[in-house]
């Protein structure tokens, strides 16, 4: 196990009845994790959280683009990043489930309701770039989720009309077993605008369903796994007439030899993902008395696919691994816009294709008191078939016809990392890396509107490139363990929503921007420079009491260069400078467990020019769990204790807020 692993310690799980025993078909650990900062979130924390992104963002530095969780956030803002270098709706971290990418093929965001937290065994959060096996999407890190096959039934109910249910079962089948799960999540939500609320304001509602079926089996020395999954969710976006609907499905097949076996092994995987998004936006009147349709994105068909083949050799303390993979995405946004005299007067179709082919090699070795690992990768990327056609809805006449030339290039990814034991209980770790992320189809081709703010696409965006280094110490003394580190990153050609002008204006491409709105365009700024410090500590205060502390301090500043000189020296939008989390777990009795958590996040800015501040936010939660029979647990939790978090601020200073304090109760039955 990597020496930097600092898993949260929770109370021992309740005794289980006879369980279905299944093989572990997850990808083997990346060999060069030995010098990196990473943390594991176990099943107790995951299943005890209302949503999986709530559990993940409890790790300082891990954040969604907006402060709102997946209970309320629009799908297009649910991109996740592992370090607070710069926020983006597309996210700069790769999320995998048993090695299969979960990022949306069109936008890069993650539909978190498609991955129920009650069905997971663990989540490994790896900080830093250079993940040569995972590819360029893992720019600031990797979140590797592993599912559980334990039969379980979990139901929850709580404030804001929240209702959740999850069921999973596993049955024996020829050569292995079949597991299936079904999840439903709904919420009546809350109205985010408090001061200045008008008749047009509505609640942020949610109704989501997901399902999956999977086969795992052994064919002699070869394992085979196949999973088919799908999801559907509908959201109210907080204003009359604004809503979103997203659907998707994925098929993944994996085969190979046991990842932990010595000698030669191999692994092959293929997957295909389809997704679609319906999204409407509106413009509000003065006083928010009425809302007028502004855009209707009625269809966003996207298809993503991937295939990989890798070989592995384990001989004593040496691990070698190499392979190749390909990834592709194709999609377009189909919209109606320019609402006049009671109808949309324009149609828009915009999209394109993106493909990558990569090869990689990595190795890890260890001695008596040291480890060393590294890897290199090269990707041949290509953007093609870019198109944007706008027509008159009544006559079909073309009003705008834009295209961009096909583009391609080769980009490297690399990492070198290692550890050195300085003395008993103290280990030095260090890593250096480079990586890149090509823009998503959404960033390249789809303009969007939030309220009266319009952001234009840019098919000429260049891939982002990240370089960095980190150094840290891991220590343990008795029942106390800790890890601390420093990092420095430079994100070159960072994709940023850059303010171009303020309304009222009429732009030849974007159209009319009303008073109180702004026009932005996605552009590459020269760089975002970020330095920071991270700390995690775990102390067993007694046999029954455990305290976990973690924090991250980040100083991120934009170098706008000649393309965006007004941004130089400013903090990237959506990027907090500080995050701290403290968690206390107390096993009061063999059947009773209490836990409490307090999180504080520093101030953010909701815009690129740092003119829309969101104050620092502090929130707490508390849980009491009672195991009344083996495998049967009743839990009562209080969430969002404290001052409500500011989640958005518009050009007029109008603030939106996160959820109020709520109480939820859950019942979990495991077999």
How much is the pTM?
Answer: 0.91
**For 389-395, which contacts have Cβ atoms below 8 Å and span 24 or more sequence positions?**
389/348, 389/349, 389/350, 390/346, 390/347, 390/348, 391/346, 391/347, 392/345, 392/346, 392/347, 393/336, 393/343, 393/344, 393/345, 393/346, 393/347, 394/345
The verdict on whether omega for the bond into residue 526 sits within 30 degrees of 0, i.e. cis, is: no
CA dihedral of 509, 391, 438, 53, whole degrees rounded to 10? 90
CA dist., res. 510 & res. 513, Å (int): 8
- pLDDT value, residue 178: 95
Query: By residue range, what is the domain housing residue 584?
Result: 31-666
CB 246 within 8 A of CB 111: yes
- pLDDT value, residue 502: 83
CB 48 within 8 A of CB 667: no
**C-beta neighbour count of 478 within 10 angstroms:** 8
Task: Compute mean pLDDT per 10 residues along the chain, 671 residues long, and list them.
Answer: 32 26 35 67 84 86 84 86 85 92 94 90 88 89 89 94 95 92 96 94 96 93 94 95 96 86 88 96 89 93 97 87 96 93 94 97 90 94 96 95 94 94 94 95 88 86 95 92 94 91 80 80 94 94 94 95 91 92 95 95 92 95 95 94 92 91 95 80
Closest CA to 321 of 364, 270, 367: 364
CA dist., res. 47 & res. 166, Å (int): 11
Q: 254 in a domain, yes or no?
A: yes
CB 139 within 8 A of CB 466: yes
CB 383 within 8 A of CB 407: yes
- List the strands of the sheet with 120-127, edge to edge: 38-42, 120-127, 141-147, 93-97, 100-101
Token reading at 38: 């990473």
Q: 377 in a domain, yes or no?
A: yes
Task: Provide the b/e sequence for 637-658 (b: ≥16 CB within 10 Å).
Answer: bbbbeeebbbbbbbbeebbbbb
CA dist., res. 178 & res. 225, Å (int): 10
Q: 14 in a domain, yes or no?
A: no
Give Cβ neighbours of residue 479 (< 8 Å, ≥ 6 apart): 539, 540
Token reading at 387: 């198109």
Place of tokens 């990418």: 101
Q: 117 in a domain, yes or no?
A: yes
620 burial type by CB count under 10 A (0-12 exposed, 13-18 middle, 19+ buried)? middle
- pLDDT value, residue 260: 60
Rounded to whole angstroms, the maximal C-alpha distance in the chain is 78
CA dist., res. 46 & res. 8, Å (int): 11
CA dist., res. 180 & res. 406, Å (int): 42
- pLDDT value, residue 438: 95
Our count of domains for the chain comes to: 1
Closest CA to 552 of 652, 637, 470: 470
Give Cβ neighbours of residue 299 (< 8 Å, ≥ 6 apart): 276, 278, 333, 334
CA dihedral of 405, 406, 410, 414, whole degrees rounded to 10? 90
Three-state SS annotation for 408-446: EEEEEEEEEEEEEEEECCEEEEEEEEEEEECCCHHHHHC
Place of tokens 């956030």: 73
- pLDDT value, residue 149: 83
CATH of the domain at 415: 2.40.170.20
23 burial type by CB count under 10 A (0-12 exposed, 13-18 middle, 19+ buried)? middle
Q: 195 in a domain, yes or no?
A: yes
Three-state SS annotation for 176-211: EEEEEEEEEEEECCCCCECCCCCCCECCCCEEEEEE
Q: 266 in a domain, yes or no?
A: yes
Q: 306 in a domain, yes or no?
A: yes
CA triplet 468, 474, 479: central angle to 5 degrees?
A: 150
Q: 13 in a domain, yes or no?
A: no
Give Cβ neighbours of residue 74 (< 8 Å, ≥ 6 apart): 235, 237, 244, 279
CA dist., res. 293 & res. 626, Å (int): 49
């Amino acid at each position: 196990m990597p020496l930097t692993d600092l898993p949260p310690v929770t109370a021992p799980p309740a005794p289980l009845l006879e369980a279905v025993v299944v093989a572990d078909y997850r990808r083997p650990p990346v060999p060069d994790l030995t010098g990196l900062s990473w943390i594991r979130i176990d099943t107790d924390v995951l299943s005890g959280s209302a949503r999986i992104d709530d559990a993940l963002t409890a790790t300082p530095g891990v954040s969604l683009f907006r402060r709102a969780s997946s209970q309320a956030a629009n799908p297009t803002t649910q991109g996740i990043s592992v370090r607070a270098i710069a926020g983006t709706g597309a996210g700069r971290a790769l999320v995998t489930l048993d090695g299969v990418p979960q990022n949306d093929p069109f936008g890069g965001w993650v539909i978190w309701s498609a991955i129920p937290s009650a069905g997971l065994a663990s989540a490994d959060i790896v900080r830093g770039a250079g993940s040569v096996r995972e590819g360029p999407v893992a720019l600031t890190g990797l979140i590797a989720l592993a599912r559980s096959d334990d039969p379980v039934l979990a139901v929850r109910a709580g404030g804001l009309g929240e209702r959740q249910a999850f069921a999973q079962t596993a049955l024996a089948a020829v050569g292995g077993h079949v597991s299936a799960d079904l999840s439903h999540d709904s919420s009546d939500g809350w109205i985010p605008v408090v001061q200045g609320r008008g008749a047009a304001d509505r609640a942020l509602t949610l109704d989501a369903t997901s399902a999956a079926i999977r086969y795992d089996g052994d064919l002699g020395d070869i394992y085979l796994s196949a999973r088919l999954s799908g999801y559907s969710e509908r959201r109210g976006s907080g204003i009359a007439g604004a809503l979103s609907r997203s659907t998707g499905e994925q098929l993944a097949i994996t085969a190979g030899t046991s990842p932990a076996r010595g000698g030669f092994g191999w692994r092959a995987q293929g997957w295909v993902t389809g997704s679609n998004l319906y999204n409407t936006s509106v413009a509000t009147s003065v006083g928010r008395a009425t809302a007028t349709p502004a855009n209707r994105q009625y269809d966003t068909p996207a298809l993503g696919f991937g295939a990989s083949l890798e070989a592995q050799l384990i001989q004593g303390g040496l691990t070698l691994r190499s392979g190749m993979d390909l990834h592709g995405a194709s999609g377009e946004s189909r919209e109606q816009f320019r609402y006049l005299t009671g109808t949309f007067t324009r149609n828009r179709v915009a999209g394109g294709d993106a493909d990558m082919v990569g090869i990689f090699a990595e190795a890890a070795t260890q001695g008596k008191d040291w480890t060393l690992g590294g890897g290199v990768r090269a990707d041949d990327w290509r953007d093609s078939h870019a198109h944007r056609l706008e027509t008159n809805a009544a006559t079909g006449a073309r009003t705008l016809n834009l295209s961009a030339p096909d583009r391609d290039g080769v980009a490297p990814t690399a990492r070198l990392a290692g550890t050195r034991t300085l003395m008993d209980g103290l280990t030095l770790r260090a890593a250096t890396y480079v990586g890149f992320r090509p823009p998503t189809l959404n960033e390249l081709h789809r303009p969007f509107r939030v309220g009266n703010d319009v952001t234009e696409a840019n098919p000429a965006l260049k891939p982002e490139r990240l370089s960095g280094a980190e150094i840290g110490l891991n220590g343990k003394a008795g029942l106390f363990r800790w890890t601390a580190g420093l990092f420095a990153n430079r994100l070159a050609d960072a994709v940023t929503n850059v303010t171009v002008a303020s309304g009222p204006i009429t732009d030849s491409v974007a159209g009319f921007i009303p008073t109180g709105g702004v026009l932005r365009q996605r552009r590459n700024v020269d760089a975002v420079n970020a330095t920071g410090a991270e700390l995690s500590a775990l102390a067993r205060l007694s046999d029954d009491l455990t305290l976990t502390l973690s924090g991250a301090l980040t100083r991120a500043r934009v170098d706008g260069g000649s393309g965006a000189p007004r941004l130089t020296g400013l903090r990237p939008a959506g990027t907090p400078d500080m995050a701290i989390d403290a968690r206390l777990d107390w096993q009061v009795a063999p059947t009773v467990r209490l836990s409490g958590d307090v999180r504080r996040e520093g101030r953010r800015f909701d815009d690129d020019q740092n003119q829309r501040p969101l104050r620092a936010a502090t929130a707490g939660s508390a849980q009491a769990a009672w195991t009344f029979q083996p495998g049967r647990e009743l839990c009562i939790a209080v969430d969002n204790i404290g001052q409500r978090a500011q989640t958005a601020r518009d050009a007029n200073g109008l603030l939106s807020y996160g959820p109020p304090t709520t109480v939820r109760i859950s019942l979990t039955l495991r077999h």
